[in-house]
Amino acid sequence: MVERAEAVGVPRGTGMFRHALLAVVFLSEEKIAAKVEFLKKTFRWSDSEVAIAVSMLPLMLKHSKDRLRRMSEFLITQVGLEPEYIAQRPALLTYSLERCLMPRHYVVKFLKENGLLEQDRSYYTAVQVSENVFMEKFIRPYKEAAPSLAQDYAAACRGEVPTSLRFQEPCTGPASA
Q: Can you give the pLDDT at residue 166?
A: 52
106/111 Cα distance (integer angstroms): 9
Q: Can you give the pLDDT at residue 173?
A: 37
Spell out the per-residue pLDDT of the chain, length 177, in tens.
Answer: 888 888 888 888 888 888 888 888 888 889 999 999 999 999 999 999 999 999 999 999 999 999 999 999 999 999 999 999 999 999 999 999 999 999 999 999 999 999 998 877 789 999 999 999 999 999 999 999 999 999 999 999 998 877 666 543 333 333 333
List, in order, residues 6 or more apart from 28 with CB less than 8 Å away.
Answer: none
- The residues spanned by each domain of the chain are 2-80, 95-165
29/32 Cα distance (integer angstroms): 5
